[in-house]
Amino acid sequence: GKGNSHTPENIPFLLVGNGAGFKMGQCHHFPKISHNRLLLSLAHSFGHRLETFGSARHCGDGPLQLA
């Protein structure tokens, strides 16, 4: 990704630990998915039932399935 144009391609995120019901030891690849959906997933894992995180247009299909 490129910071100046906010492209969602090839931006690595690392989740460490084994809480919140996430299945560990996996590598996920979500091509062209907004970071907002990952952050929405994390909010849900902490019990916050938000429908959007940041701009609603970037949360179209809701949280990612990480479990």
Q: Identify the sign of the CA torsion 29, 34, 37, 38.
A: positive
Question: Is residue 5 scored above 90 in pLDDT?
Answer: no
More confident residue, 37 or 66: 37
d(CA 55, CA 46): 20
State the pTM of this model: 0.77
Which pLDDT score is estimated for 44? Answer: 92
Question: Is residue 27 scored above 90 in pLDDT?
Answer: no
Q: What long-range pairs does 52-57 form, CB within 8 A, spacing at least 24?
A: none
Which pLDDT score is estimated for 19? Answer: 76
Question: Is residue 50 scored above 90 in pLDDT?
Answer: yes
The Cβ of residue 4 has, within 10 Å, a number of other Cβ atoms equal to 6
